[in-house]
Structure 1
Amino acid sequence: MQLKSLRIFREVARTGSFVAAAELLHTVQSNVTAHIKKLEVELDAKLIDRHGTVRLTSAGQALIQYAESILSAHDEALSLFEKNASPRGRLRIGAMETTTALRLPPILAKFHEMHPEVDIKLQTGPTADLIKGMMEGKHDCIFVAGKVNHPRLHLFKAFDEQLVLVAGRHMEEMPAPQELQTATFLAFRQGCSYRQRIELLMANYGVYATRIFEFGTLDAMLGCVAAGMGYAILPRKTVEAHRHRFDVHSHPLPKEIGQVGTYFAAPETDTWTPAMTAFADILRRAVVQPESCVDVGSITKNDTAVHT
């Protein structure tokens, strides 16, 4: 069935007249009649009773419900991609637990304030899982640790993180290799880039057998570190943000291990929806200034062009 035929059928049903439908659609009555007949042939059913007043048959009453739904979905899909329309639809974001807890809330809040018709779905996970999920089409964009080397990805650095060793006691200096040899570390599951930094740190100290316990949430990890269960490696700002809740202490890691960038990654820009474009622009503008992810109040709804 052609959309044009369904539109004509809908107007005939609304007006109860072939002539009125033709006038509303700026066409001739013969064209209206031809499209109705075409639908009836395709469906092998009489849709309109033409004896006396035009009215829908039982088959016509059944079709009009589907016609309304099909045409509404078609128009909604077109409006989703209109350049000057307000973004709508959904935005699926994947991010690391630490990024979600600290960096994203003010940006997401500003995005929702500016584009309330967009439904946001946020899923957390380790870097490896997030990359895999995006390649499988489960995320529209992701925030991961380190630069993703893929020729078909659009990415830029969103945040710089300084990783620290976290413990339940004060540390004047890094623990001795002998202590680390028997230490327990707490980390997110396999695929977490910060977990890989544990292995790099241990290798730097000549320790190649490390006991690592897996945790699913940041709160659980910090709580157990505060209780003296073991060490963790986390971004310094994440630890500082939660220090009022957990009695934890930290020490900077060596520069070659402790400095890591959090990157925004997404498919090529020509695949983006208007919602995706608007989010990327708000993010890019928010991270232009150091510490400015909360200072995006000057952005207006008419100022959302992405600079790539």
Structure 2
Amino acid sequence: MQIKSLRIFDAVASTGSFGAAAQRLHTVQSNVTAHIQKLEDELQVQLIERSSSPVHLTPAGHTLLPHAQRLLQTHDQACALFAGSALPTGCLRIGAMESTAALRLPPVLAQLYQTQPHMDLQLRTGPTGSLLEDLQRGLLDCAFVAGQPPQPRWWGQQVFQEELVLVSPTPLPGLPSPEVLLRTPFLAFRQGCSYRQRIELLLASQGITSARIMEMGTLDAILGCVAAGMGFALMPRALMHTQQARFGIHCTPLPEPLRSQIGVVDTWLVAPQPQGWSPQLRALVQQLGMEGAAVTMVATAVTPM
């Protein structure tokens, strides 16, 4: 059944006239007649009793009418949702690095929820590599990851910038010597984490090729173990400012040129190209103030190979 046919049927039922229905829908009466006949042929019933004036519904017509009205209402609601004339509903599946989820996203998501109260938010944390895999598989609508999207068919926009600092259980006068770095473990997230890759680059810059990195599942586990004297970590400075008092840890900036080379990390929001966005995802992009960038990317989108 076509939506147009159901809308014409509803108009005939409410006006009691083929001609009045045609006027309401700005069409010709022959078009109304054709759509009603098409519905009757498809359902194999008579819907309209045409022998009276005004015309009226048959029992079959009365049965169809509430179904038609519900379908029309659902259709109109969906159109309004994607046209932006209705508040977004449904779930937005967001992926983020754990540090980004802890530091940057709470105020963004809280404000988004205040402006879009009918939306459901689902946040999944993980290392950049895993988040990109989930995005590729369609398990996420978007992801906050370290660096630009690795595929041209994805849309991406830089949203935050982090400075990484060395996290230790006691104050340090500067970067530890290669001997200290060699015998002291680093604590990090699992493979695929961009900060873990920066640890390897830091150690390589000091001539250490066999990095000893202990894998931890959560941010609290990493910082708790650092505080207990188990090793070092490499984390965003802004995040550590919120955690120093809680864990009793200390932060040491990376010296130049290491800071410029490996200590500055751009966080990007990565998603499918904008023509495939849901209203919920578009609301998040607007909340982040990137609507103009998204519109530009629609015009210059790369066609998938």
TM-score clears 0.5: yes
**Offset at 1:125?**
1.8
1: CA distance between counterparts of 2:174 and 2:89? 51
2: CA distance between counterparts of 1:74 and 1:81? 11
2: CA distance between counterparts of 1:45 and 1:185? 75
- The 8 Å contact of residues 18 and 32 in structure 1, kept in 2 or not, is answered as no
**Offset at 1:30?**
5.7
2: CA distance between counterparts of 1:100 and 1:263? 13
- The 8 Å contact of residues 164 and 250 in structure 1, kept in 2 or not, is answered as yes
- Which residue does 2:16 correspond to in 1? 17
Matches within 5 A, 1:226-245: 226-245=227-246
Matches within 5 A, 1:1-308: 1-13=1-13, 15=14, 17-19=16-18, 21=21, 24-25=24-25, 31-47=31-47, 54-57=56-59, 61=63, 63-82=64-83, 85=85, 87-90=87-90, 91-253=92-254, 254-255=258-259, 256-273=261-278, 275-284=280-289, 308=296
Identity %: 48
Secondary structure of the 2:109 match is: helix
For residue 111 of structure 1, what is the amino acid of its counterpart?
L
Secondary structure of the 2:176 match is: coil
1: CA distance between counterparts of 2:193 and 2:47? 60
Runs of 5+ unmatched residues, structure 1: 286-303
**Shift in alpha-carbon separation, 1:25–1:217, aligned structure 2, 3 A:** same
Secondary structure of the 1:171 match is: coil
Secondary structure of the 1:243 match is: helix
Give the number of aligned pairs: 287
- The 8 Å contact of residues 277 and 305 in structure 1, kept in 2 or not, is answered as no
Runs of 5+ unmatched residues, structure 2: 297-305
Point out the more displaced range, 26-35 or 240-249. 26-35
1: CA distance between counterparts of 2:58 and 2:129? 57
- Which residue does 2:301 correspond to in 1? none
- The 8 Å contact of residues 21 and 32 in structure 2, kept in 1 or not, is answered as yes
- Which residue does 1:288 correspond to in 2? none
- Which residue does 1:291 correspond to in 2? none
For residue 263 of structure 1, what is the amino acid of its counterpart?
W
Task: Please give the per-residue CA displacement for 1:237-289, whole angstroms capped at 9, x wherever unaligned.
Answer: 1111112221111222331221211122333344445554443243247xxxx
Task: Please give the per-residue CA displacement for 1:98-122, whole angstroms capped at 9, x wherever unaligned.
Answer: 1111112222233333333444333
Q: What is the root-mean-square deviation of aligned Cα atoms in Å?
A: 3.1
Secondary structure of the 1:229 match is: coil
**Offset at 1:2?**
1.4
Secondary structure of the 2:149 match is: coil
More helix by share: 2
For residue 266 of structure 2, what is the amino acid of its counterpart?
G
2: CA distance between counterparts of 1:200 and 1:45? 74
With structure 2 as the length reference, what TM-score do the two structures score?
0.79
**Shift in alpha-carbon separation, 1:89–1:305, aligned structure 2, 3 A:** farther
2: CA distance between counterparts of 1:129 and 1:283? 23
For residue 40 of structure 1, what is the amino acid of its counterpart?
E
**Offset at 1:187?**
1.6
For residue 54 of structure 1, what is the amino acid of its counterpart?
H
With structure 1 as the length reference, what TM-score do the two structures score?
0.78
- The 8 Å contact of residues 127 and 192 in structure 1, kept in 2 or not, is answered as yes
Deviating runs (4+, > 6 A) in structure 1? Answer: 49-53
Task: Please give the per-residue CA displacement for 1:156-180, whole angstroms capped at 9, x wherever unaligned.
Answer: 3222211112122222232332333
- The 8 Å contact of residues 45 and 60 in structure 2, kept in 1 or not, is answered as no
